[in-house]
Amino acid sequence: MAWKVIKSEKDLKNLLLNESLLSLGNGYLGVRGNFEEGYTEDAKTIRGTYLNAFHDETEIKYGERLHGFPLTQQKVLNVIDGQSVDIYIGDERFSLFEGEVLEFERSLHMDRGFAERFIRWRSPEGLETKLHFRRLVSFTVKELFAINIRVEPVNHSEPVTFVSTVDGDVSNYVDVNDPRLASGHSKRLNVTDVRHEHGLSIVRDMAMITNLEVACVTATAVEAGAYIFASHSTDTSVQETYECEGGEAVTFTKFNAYTDTLRHGNALVETGIAIQNLQRDTKFNDLLRAQREYLDHFWSVSDVEIDGDAELQEGIRFSLYQLLQSVGKDPFSNISAKGLSGEGYEGHYFWDTEIYMLPVFLMTQPAIAKNLLLHRYSILENAKMRARVMGHEKGALFPWRTITGPESSAYFPAGTAQYHISADIAYSYIQYYLVTKDEELLRNEMAEVLFETARLWIEVGHMQDGQFRIDSVTGPDEYTCIVNNNYYTNVMAKHNLAWAVKVYRYLEREDDKQLRKLEKKTRLEKHEVTDWQEAAENMFLPYDEKLKINEQDDSFLRKKRWDLGNTPKEKFPLLLHYHPLTLYRYQVLKQADTVLAHFLLEDEESIETIRNSYDYYEELTTHDSSLSYCVYGIMASKLGYKDKAYSYFKETARLDLDNIHGNTKDGLHMASMGGTWLSIVSGFGGLRVKEDGLSLAPWLPENWNGLGFRLRFQDRLIKVRVEQNRIIYTLIEGKDLTITHHGRELLLESGRETVIHRNGSMQKALI
């Protein structure tokens, strides 16, 4: 059952939630888990189909607009609806909200790559029918979304009619009461082409401002004894009708091919037709086999096995599966905060990618991780322009919220002021290099990104009393904004600066020609490298001698503590119930801040400081952000707080499946899903990637029988198995490797497993 998410609720509230949970995608195309036949007329639903990075621009309206505020924001669009299939049994339209539902189950198959519904339905006039719906978004043909429906009569021989619609008249979902959603601009697409020709339904739309275009070319087929076919077009949609004779089971299949101008140029329809022609002889079961083969390969490296808790096993596999469905795999796309499962945060890419989601792919599917880095590189020029708008003569300030590069955050205190995103991106490049030793990337994209982000810190910071200080920024904690010397920002900037110097010196030694090329391209002067080194070596990292903790910033400890214990439950999340200035005046955290820095750069501080900081900030953290639980869980593992580590892991692993934050209907929390993997591998597994190699410190929660995961590291595949009385490392692929295990060096030999028993004894065996 851990490979299958089952949802059998039929009430409208849970239907909306399950639209997100049962969404399907492949990184390019995403479809929410809507019913093909729709709901009741008064039902609130978010019926959505999305293409990663396909967007329009909308005007940002300010009461008082100041210099540097973005004029427009980007917004992912709900595109052409190819889901709709109405079914008639005789003259009665099938609906789960009419007649009587005798059996109902829907499920998501994470090992097989499809979703399905089983229904036994009795119509208002007593006609009993079995219906079996299956749908998939192909991992091997990225443009393809397919639906398969089997209808079987139980006590009648009435004709069965399928009415399939492809509709270009679509809108985005809005909620004016929730700042995490768009609050307007719902209608952004115009239908430009509608026709039915050569047996295909064709609809084409254009975005109002960007003029990006999307097309859906749809092929349909039935398996029935005899049927009558008809097609009908309106100004915005194409409708196909198959009236099948009754008495036997009939099957209807719908193949939707989506194309857009970002990937396919202007020949959208022609490309869609070509895709359909290539798939002409393909059956739905053929697509299922291709899904299974793709996922067998994915899970062979990426699976995490938990022995002893089926719910948490389901949680980690659900997280990994949804990450795979959402992550961009082409140069045009990244992975948004809600993936391709909903419209929350308008499809924007945040720092969530680098800190929470990229590590999953880096350690299991490095080619996908590289694509995410190359996408960030593709918007480097936008980041440089943003830095100029913000008054910096040099450097790159990556946008807080974006799709193709421009800043889309209208609220600068918790948006643009989070300068740390540039250091986060630099950090991810460094981690990628340490894991892959990709010299080509280092010499080109990585070096340029590190140089430009290092320049930013010299621009925004300054030397004072022999220390390098960074003023007026916001750290990860969005309840504390516009502060001086945020510890997270400063320590990440230090890491960024130090590595920029390191890469420069490396190129001086190893590839002077490439360095000269980069210097010419970026107009880099040698004195800048000296400035980087001086800033890194003298970076001010706030520390309170009395509490023996790293201060979150210069002023944090001088504020009054928020009384979380006496704050009513209905007042959470605080951002929906208190003015930002109220929150800024207190010691209260939305999410991990200093504690996150201690996870990412643990060697900067003593274990005593890390422990004291954890204990202090945990009491003040609301976890109103889904990015928070996992970080506190990981650091609880490091500090030996095993009960806390396990408790936090349970919160993050089931956050969407149990709708813990109450807003899963707007889309899944992709960063939390990345955090679920980190909680296991970096928490229970103790994984850290450092300059001197791979370090692990595994332990097992006492109510589990075992834990297993795999890692890719420098052309090696390592399997880690943790049991109550022993830990087993197996070097499945690649050359011998020395790692650090609980602080001691350990040699892993190729093709052998290394078993370490609780009593400290060790043995090796061939695999």
What DSSP state is assigned to residue 400?
A: S
Distance in angstroms (rounded) separating the CA atoms of residues 129 and 122 = 6
Alpha helix segments (H runs only) across 640-758: 642-653, 670-678
Sequence-separated (6 or more) residues with CB below 8 Å from residue 193: 202, 203, 204, 215, 269
- Cα→Cα distances 216→6, 204, 267, 401, Å: 30, 6, 12, 28
- 97-103: list long-range contacts, CB under 8 Å, 24+ apart: 97/39, 97/40, 98/123, 98/124, 99/123, 99/124, 101/10, 102/128
SS (H, E, C) 539-585: ECCCCECCCCECCCCCCHHHCEECCHHHCCHHHCCHHHCCCHHHHHC
Residues of the chain by 3-state class (helix, strand, coil), percent to 5:
35, 25, 40
Is residue 552 a contact partner of residue 486, using CB atoms and an 8 Å limit? yes
Burial-class residue 55 by CB neighbours within 10 Å (0-12, 13-18, 19+).
Answer: buried
Sequence-separated (6 or more) residues with CB below 8 Å from residue 551: 487, 542, 543, 544, 557, 594
Is residue 260 a contact partner of residue 51, using CB atoms and an 8 Å limit? yes
Q: Among 57, 240, 243, 478, which one carries the catalytic annotation? A: 478
Pairing, β 189-197 against β 200-207: antiparallel
Structural tokens at position 119: 């229904």
Is residue 728 a contact partner of residue 710, using CB atoms and an 8 Å limit? no
Q: How many beta carbons lie within 10 A of that of residue 557, not counting itself? A: 16
Give just the sign of the alpha carbon dihedral 656, 54, 420, 572: negative
Pairing, β 586-587 against β 560-561: parallel
Burial-class residue 235 by CB neighbours within 10 Å (0-12, 13-18, 19+).
Answer: exposed
478 counts as catalytic: yes
Distance in angstroms (rounded) separating the CA atoms of residues 333 and 196 = 31
Is residue 680 a contact partner of residue 662, using CB atoms and an 8 Å limit? no
What DSSP state is assigned to residue 354?
A: I
Helix (H) or strand (E) holding 321: helix 310-326
Q: Which amino acid is at 13?
A: K
Strand runs labelled E in 208-290: 213-223, 227-233, 237-244, 250-260
729: Cα separation from own chain's centroid: 29
Task: HSE, CB side, 13 Å, CA atoms: give it for residue 58.
Answer: 20
Residue owning tokens 């190819």: 82
Which residues are identified as catalytic?
478
